[in-house]
Structure 1
Amino acid sequence: MNRKYIIYSILLGFLCSTGILSAQTVHTDTVVVTEEKTKRAWELGIGASVFQFSRVDFTNFQKLEDRYKADLQLRHNVFGANLYVARELNPHLYIDLQGTVGFTKQWVDGKNKMKNLFMVGPGLQWRLGEYFGSKYIDPYTRIGVSYMHKNFDMNYTGIEADLPDEMDWVLENMKNKHGVDKNDLIPISLGLGVNTWLNDRFGIGIQGDYLLMPHKDVANSMQGTVRLMWRIGGSSKKAKPVTQYIDRETVVQAPPVEVEKIVEVPVHVASEMCELFNNIYFDFDKAAITRESHDVLDKIADILKDDTSKRYLVTGYTDAWGTDEYNISLSRRRVGAVVKELENRGVPTNMMKYRGVGKKVSYAPAEAPVEVRRGDRKVGVEIISNMDYWNYIPKSDHDK
């Protein structure tokens, strides 16, 4: 059979199958079709492959005085380059086209000559990552059919030298077929693979195939491939953030009724930031922030800069030791130090206003141990959504 006709037939079948699958979506709603096209991914890959083809060559056969001598060349592998393209049909099925060119050496006319192998064909992949909730590690199974042409020989038997001093040899493939060699083959591929994605666009793929030769006396083979992959389109592999919707309703008097708008607050952001503010501490009788609190300030600054549309009122507190007047002054200096540190870390100045309330809400009495009273030396934060109230309050207590 002409090799060109076989190659053209495989490529035509791949293109036709892709066209049929696309045509099946024409009867759906126009808006839905457009969204599907944007979500379906293309995958391109380039890598290296190795085939298992056991081959034997005897050279320099000669008779000595009391024995025979021959050199043995035993080769098992054929190495080459691999190209890969795949199209997403749905989250579980991909259709692909893979091509490989391999190179090896064979003993011909008294010397080793370079020989090659060419294989190309489509396949269907069943992706398993979605079943396990895994987006970055995606194992799969594959079945495919290919056209293979090779110009090196796989001899199973041979005769070296001439009568009466000749040597017969036989190459046996254990637990495999053996007998006749063919240069043009149509192997069926049964494979397993896994794609490891580094992000939405780049990844590494590993694939192993058992090549079943549908010929009575041609030995089956194996192929292993590793490739770098590029992904175009498709849904993002990043986890979607969990969002909590809170309905808040404040009744001023009846009538009228004031209803505040729905505020969308990411759950993990609000709770994490409040917890971080509760972990800012000060030394006794000082406005200096403790050393271990500076890492906390870095994290708070990163969260605030993610959404600069919010407005925050930061409040400073002291423990019960000392007079009211002194503690009010100390709490103002402490909260001012926190706001200054956050602004130095890039938080916009219009996002925060602050005040100090001294020991008005301290829990531990003045005679409590130092480590207990340290919990009252802190800074708290609240989100202000009422812009009229926000515009009314000053930047700090000192501006009253």
Structure 2
Amino acid sequence: MDARKLSMTLWVINLASIAGCTVSYVYLSYYLYNATGNVLLADAVLVAPMLVPILLYVAIKKVAASGSPRPIFALANAASLICAVGIFLLLPRFPMIAIAGALTIGFLDALQRVTRIVAIKRFFSGEDVKFAVPMTLTAQFIAGGLAGIMLAYFKGQTTPMIILSAVAVLFAVAGLVSLLLPDSQAIEDKESPDAPTLLKSNNLANLLKNNPLLKSYLMASIVFVSVFQGFFNISRVTLPAHQLGLNDEYVGYLQILSSLGALIGAVAFYFYNKTGRTFSATAVRLVSIASLAALCAASSGYNVASSYTAYFAYMFMWELMFFNYEANVVNACSSADMAHVATYQYAASYFGIISVTLAGGLLTQYLGLLQTALILSALYLCYMLREAYSSNSQHASSLVKD
């Protein structure tokens, strides 16, 4: 199977699987809130999938590294389908099962997210990785929009059985298409020149010590995602509803605008890499600073047009840099260690996102959204300055040795 067909196959699997998971999370949260009237319980359903990679880090790592991505995708989607049937059938009698359902599907979702990165590394050569990452992972943005459209279409007349029907079809499609993937064992392992053979150790510290380039990319990715995704979680409802005083309709518009900005950012990254160029460290810092400026401009709440335009720019640049970091991590890591590294990346990133979301929520409550944006921007700028100083110091040291 050539690279284009592989990308399309992975794209369809991602689209169907992520859409099924997203619809499940949102509907279970919505159903539990209607059944109990408890906002915290409803929020717990949405937070549960983010906790799974942290709590079950070891299990996810072992399963993702245990064999070929093909059977993992197929079995995970089959298990998701079986779990969804049980959960949605029991939901009317036991609404609290929504939390258990979010945790169970969340585990299978997290396993597939790690396996996607492993699959990209195993199926694509070093040069193809930077093209495969954005094209394969764009499915998650479309899946989020698809989930929103489905829920909006059925709004007010939906039942657990209607949602189950939609979710079952999505998981079934993902599972069946997974069978079209080749066996990774039969594919020649083509490592990037930047991915030296690492010590075969389960100790992540030793692994990163022997690959400083991977360590640099990985840590930068985790910090970046924690801050930018964390602010997105804080602002996607607070900006329209609180800062601008708009109704629910504009919350939906911001979601659409966010997905559009993210999707265009991913496509822009793909075509930029097609030219053979890459982002320099200086370019990455400049784009990150511009994204922070857009973040603060959006949070000022001057008017709808300016805030939403700035938010679109923030999302576009954020996703552009996200895919750059993701491609660098995949390219710098060996296939043998990809599952370990990807699992740690997701666990650490989710921990950071949750931390920033909670801390930012408190700051927004007491100081305001703009002040929160300024504080987060200042902290990230300090981090970038420290990294730039460290990089320059290491470069100067290497010149002295030479």
TM-score range, shorter chain: under 0.3
Bigger Rg, which one: 1
TM-score (normalised: structure 1): 0.20
TM-score (normalised: structure 2): 0.20
Structure (1/2) with the larger strand percentage: 1
Larger RCO (alpha carbons 8 Å, 6+ apart)? 2
Structure (1/2) with the larger helix percentage: 2
